[in-house]
């Protein structure tokens, strides 16, 4: 079974948008994100996006629109020499209380089952405490937070104290560099 790098999408690979990512025009990659995914894809890790997309459940976009955005994002990663081995999204709102919306572990567990992933040797990289909680609840070996997106603000919340220590990186590129330099034990920077 392969180890995976689970990636949140908005706030990690691309910028969050206040009114949600609803069309490709809303997509803006973080500097270095595509290049770092291209470089990291040479590793033995599988790369899996796990993303909450409540705009679907709120009726602001369709599942087909979300899937088209994700497909184009995957193509952009491929054009940069990278790969995404799977995209798993939760279309529900927080009020739906589903099992797949982070901080619950459903998306990660579904990905692990479908792609035959070793969660204990895997890493989750997110920009929110809910990402960290989902990774830990699923049994992901390491859950890291980046300061992009909501990360910096999330680390300042009182709730963050109960999750410490959380390995923290300035951005996706720095997190993936740390992982590639020491794939079994990258530490907080």
pLDDT at 157 exceeding the cut of 50: yes
Task: Report the chain's mean pLDDT, rounded to a whole number.
Answer: 95
**Are the CB atoms for 79 and 117 separated by under 8 Å?**
no
Q: Give the closest residue to 111 by CA, choosing from 25, 46, 57.
A: 46
Q: What is the 3-state secondary structure (H, E, C) of 116-127?
A: CECHHHCEEEEC
Mean pLDDT, range 126-154, rounded to an integer: 97
Q: Point out the residues that are catalytic.
A: 8, 10
pLDDT at 189 exceeding the cut of 80: no
Confidence of residue 182 (pLDDT cuts 50, 70, 90): confident
The predicted-structure confidence for 91-101, as pLDDT tens digits, reads as follows 999 999 999 99
**Structural domains in the chain, sorted by start:** 4-181 (3.40.50.1000)
Tokens standing for residue 14: 């691309």
Model pLDDT, residue 183 = 67
The predicted-structure confidence for 24-75, as pLDDT tens digits, reads as follows 999 999 999 999 999 999 999 999 999 999 999 999 999 999 999 999 999 9
């Amino acid at each position: 079974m392969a180890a995976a790098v689970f990636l949140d999408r908005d706030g990690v690979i691309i910028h969050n948008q206040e009114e949600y990512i609803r069309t490709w025009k809303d997509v803006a990659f973080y500097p270095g994100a595509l290049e770092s995914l291209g470089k990291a894809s040479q590793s033995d890790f599988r790369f899996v996006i796990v993303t909450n997309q409540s705009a679907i459940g709120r009726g602001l976009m369709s599942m087909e629109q979300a899937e088209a955005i994700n497909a184009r994002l995957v193509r952009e990663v491929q054009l940069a020499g990278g790969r995404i081995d799977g995209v798993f999204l939760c279309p529900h709102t927080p009020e739906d209380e589903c099992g797949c919306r982070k901080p619950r572990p459903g998306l990660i567990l579904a990905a692990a089952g479908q792609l035959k992933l070793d969660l204990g040797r895997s890493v989750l990289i997110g920009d929110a405490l809910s990402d960290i909680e989902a990774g830990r609840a699923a049994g992901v070996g390491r859950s890291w937070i980046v300061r992009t997106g909501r990360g910096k603000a999330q680390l300042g919340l009182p709730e963050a104290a109960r999750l410490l220590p959380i390995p923290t990186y300035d951005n996706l590129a720095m997190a993936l560099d740390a992982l590639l330099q020491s794939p079994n034990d990258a530490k907080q920077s």
